[in-house]
Amino acid sequence: MVTHILKLIKAQFRSNSWVLAELLVVFVVLWFMADYFLMQGIQMNRPIGFKLDNVYQAVVSIRPAESPSFIRYEEGSEEPLHNFERIIERIERHPDVEVVGVSYYSLPYTHSNMGDGIRRDSTHLDVRSMLVSPGYLQVFGIRSATGESSEELGKKLPDMLNMTDMAISAGIAEELFGRTDVIGAELYGYGDSIPRHVVAVTEQLRNDEYDLIHQNTLFTRLDLPLFQRKMGESDFTRIQVTFRTRPGISSPDYGQQFLKEMKRQLTAGNYWVSDVVSYRDIRADFLANSKETNNRKLFSALGVFFLVNVFLAVIGTFWFRVNRRRSELGLRMAVGSTRSGIQTLMIGEGVVLLTLAALPALLVCANLVWMDLLSATVMPAGTLRFFVVSLITWATLALTIILATWYPSRKASHLEPAEALHYE
């Protein structure tokens, strides 16, 4: 069958050359689109490292200084710190709450974060710095690189984690040591002469599904008394309070129910909890308003538009080819070809044409890969990636050609023998 189809293509080379040129161009363009969406799919489905089920953020606000009920404390007073801690303690005592965590510019799905740098010998690495309480790891279900649960990891940190100790993500350990079993290793901050000790290695973390920058994370303990000595009362509103509820407690409107139930208790001094938001909603809002999401929607719309046009172009081309060859098909039927044989011949010819066009198209794609025109942030542009993208592209176009050829070939195969002889 294939040999016979190749002879037919050769006999009609002049008309087939235009089809081959069209398929070559379409293949190259579709190849790049397939590569983009494959990399996006891989990136979006990689683990984030944060578990968001049953997680809520309590937004702490402060009364305006102009308010009649604003309480003015003496300079250096620790009462603002105690008021903030009271709110945390009251959330912790709620029967639905499993654990509470506090952090400073250290939440996922946010554009607010702190950068830092660490070094080992002459190797320097830029990292995302997170100031957190041990409970933070349990709130977000952050596990160790060795598979320890967030609860086991959280139990280790209160006694070990201080300003000279730190926990690092697996990416940092891999880049600086080539392995993750580096407990007790020493690292230096930029400009530091005193080493800091690694007390834990967490799994790899990302700020969000699109994040390719803040994948290396360094944890140090958030010391609220030290924070109070360096910052003012209003700065406590920058501290992020999150908590995890017990399984089976959460509901779509649980945050507002919690806030309504605890409204009076969640007020202390000048502080009050103004909102309780599900972290699932925070994630959805962040991704919906992300520039990457908008870009992805745009490329998806362009991709659908392109595929529709490819389908229409291919179906138009092959419809014309089938109708132009009705006399040939009629003669084949007259000398005994079956209806299914006619249909298989036309579909097979389209697939063989695609395969012939794919060979030079793949050479073009391979040269463009060699010229480093593909992004390697998600996956290196290697042989496996090239093969998978090529297979996806070929399969997509083959399916398009089969669908485009099926109806006209089916219609042609249902010609009556007398009508077929009339065409010849």
Q: What are the boundaries of each domain within the chain?
A: 2-45+290-423, 55-288
pLDDT at 403: 81
What pLDDT score does 40 carry? 85
**Structure confidence at residue 75 (pLDDT):** 81
Q: Crossing angle, helix 291-324 and helix 383-413, to 10 degrees?
A: 40
Q: How far is CA 69 from CA 65, 66, 74, 133, 270, in A?
A: 9, 9, 16, 31, 8
CA distance readout (Å), 159 to 131, 251, 274: 16, 35, 33
- pLDDT, position 326: 65
Give the pLDDT score at 283: 95
Which regions in the chain score pLDDT beneath 50? 423
The answer to whether the CB of 244 falls within 8 A of the CB of 280 is no
CA–CA separation, 62 and 9 (whole Å)? 78
Across 191-338, the runs of DSSP E, i.e. the strands, are: 196-202, 217-221, 239-245, 267-268, 271-278
pLDDT at 263: 86
- This prediction has a pTM of 0.79
The strand ranges marked E within 248-296 are 267-268, 271-278
What whole-number distance in Å separates Cα of residue 250 and Cα of residue 54?
6
Residue-level pLDDT at 155: 65
What is the 3 state secondary structure string of 107-161? Answer: CCCCCCCEEEEEEECCEEEEEEEEEECHHHHHHCCCCECCCCCHHHHHHHHHHHC
Give the model's pLDDT for residue 306: 79
The two tokens of residue 368 are 């463009």
Q: Phi and psi dihedrals of 120, rounded to 5?
A: -130, 115
Quote the pLDDT of residue 391. 96
